[in-house]
Amino acid sequence: MIPEIEKATINEIKAFQEDKLKETLQYLNINSPFYKRFFKENNLQVSEIITLEDLQKIPVTTKDHLQQFNDDFCCVPKSEIIDYVTTSGTLGDPVTFALTDKDLERLAYNEAISFACCGVSKEDTLQLMTTMDRRFMAGLAYFLGARKLGSGIIRVGSGIPELQWDSILKFKPTYLITVPSFLLKLIEYAKQQQIDINNTGIKAAICIGEPIREQDFSLNILAKKIKMDWNIELFSTYASTEMSTAFNECEMHNGGHHHPELIIAEILDDNNLPVSNGEVGELTITTLGVEAMPLLRFKTGDMVQVFNRPCKCGRNTLRLGPVVGRKKQMIKYKGTTLYPPAMYNILNVFSEIESYVIEIFHNELGTDEILIKIVSEAVSDELLLEIKDHFRAKLRVAPKVEFARPEEIEALRFPPLSRKPVDLIDRRL
């Protein structure tokens, strides 16, 4: 199930997106209180925006805009809204996203073609290992997508390895939708219970929230650890509430495919200009076909690289590489640009490290410093040296690493109000 437009030529895809862009701009100009004002303040005539390149005439929309003027982004009366979703905002309060019936249908279509990208068909059954409520969009999108595709879906929710295994053995799903690190917990449980993990009928896992590949698309250490015990195919997916669109890997595993009927993607530098071909930049999106809260040139904060050679799977749409990091978490360290995920990858190589926290702060010169605190039973200078050497080999620089007491790291990793463990403490703000 590949939509025709995804097999069209790059020029045809561009022309198609320009038509959709025109519709979107007209819609915003009539229905969006925020963008109506925004166009006026910036002396913009939407009729003058014709090509994708013309988008550069429009200033970007930021997360601060969304937070400050949240209600003004909504283009429909309350009676049209079916589902309410929230995401964490930049200034503390959550940002609300509303979806109409048509938006839910768009979300279902998005997830159906994204699942299809990962080889899921009507014959498959998916086990959903993420939450469907708590005002999250993702779980609901997976359910709607499976329903549209005609696949089976088992809504187990997150955690509880025992219940997950009970469900796998009882209903024989073929795909898992999960945070990849949770697969390690499932493997551990299966070993304890002597479950024959490679004879359970699971073909693949669709991995959310954490990267499973390096920038060259080879499997990262987490993915290798999983595959060592469990011979399943791992697909990466990247999505967000603001985009209401997913970028899923196809069977070629060389980046997440763009769906041109749903979103326009630009990769911008610090001056909001397009980066040169293949450079890392900030993903900036314009949603297409969204009714309640469409976004125009919204800066996602995610640093990515684009690949635009046609894919062997038959799709000609561009592909996004693994997210390099969050823009605001970028670290300039001894002349090198680093992002936390690359450091997590290195630390995860060492089985001696039981847990860790990365602290970033400004030194007296105002430049970035990194201090990694680790917990290990094997406290030794040799281990510290080995870790630093590995950092130098992979990232060219070695941050300061020191041992810490387990209680100290626990307290740092699990602050009272956090929903998930904290790996990074950024004290630069």
Q: Which residues of this chain interact with Zn ion, rule CB under 5 A?
A: 250, 252, 311, 313, 315
Closest CB 235 distance from Zn ion, rounded Å = 11
In the complex, minimum distance from the CB of residue 46 to Zn ion, in angstroms, rounded to a whole number = 34
Q: How far is 311 from 224, CA to CA, in rounded Å?
A: 24
Nearer to Zn ion among residue 38 and residue 247 (C-beta): 247
Q: Which two structure tokens, joined as six digits, stand for 17? A: 């997106």
As a whole number of angstroms, the distance between CA 384 and CA 387 comes to 5
Query: Can you tell me whether residue 400 is helix, strand or coil?
Result: strand
Question: Cβ closer to Zn ion: 219 or 313?
Answer: 313
Closer CB to Zn ion, 312 or 400, in the complex:
312
CB-nearer residue toward Zn ion: 315 or 413? 315
For the chain, the C-alpha Rg in angstroms (whole number) is: 22
To the nearest whole angstrom, how small is the minimum distance from the Cβ of residue 394 to Zn ion?
28
Query: Taking the complex as a whole, how short is the minimal distance between the CB of residue 6 and Zn ion, in angstroms?
Result: 9
Cβ proximity of 317 and 13 under 8 Å: yes
Q: Output the smallest distance, CB 217 to Zn ion, in A.
A: 12
CB of residue 247 vs Zn ion: minimum separation in angstroms?
A: 11
The least distance separating Zn ion from the CB of residue 311, rounded to whole angstroms, comes to: 3
Number of H helices, E strands in the chain: 12, 21
Q: How far is it, in rounded angstroms, from Cα 311 to Cα 304?
A: 18
Q: Please state at what angle helix 381-395 crosses helix 340-347, rounded to 10 degrees.
A: 130
Report, in Å, the least distance between residue 224 CB and Zn ion. 22
Comparing CB distances to Zn ion, the nearer of 118 and 398 is 118
Structure tokens at 147: 């329903």
69/217 with CB nearer Zn ion: 217
Q: Closer CB to Zn ion, residue 18 or residue 251? A: 251
How far is the C-alpha of 390 from the C-alpha of 346, rounded, in Å? 7
> Are the C-beta atoms of 219 and 249 separated by less than 8 Å?
no
Smallest CA-to-CA distance from 358 within 404, 324, 294 is with 404
Query: By the 8 A CB rule, do 118 and 250 touch?
Result: yes
> Judged by CB, which is closer to Zn ion: 88, or 218?
218
Q: What is the DSSP string of 261-275?
A: TTEEEEEE-TTS-BP
Nearest to 213 by CA among 307, 142, 122, 141: 307
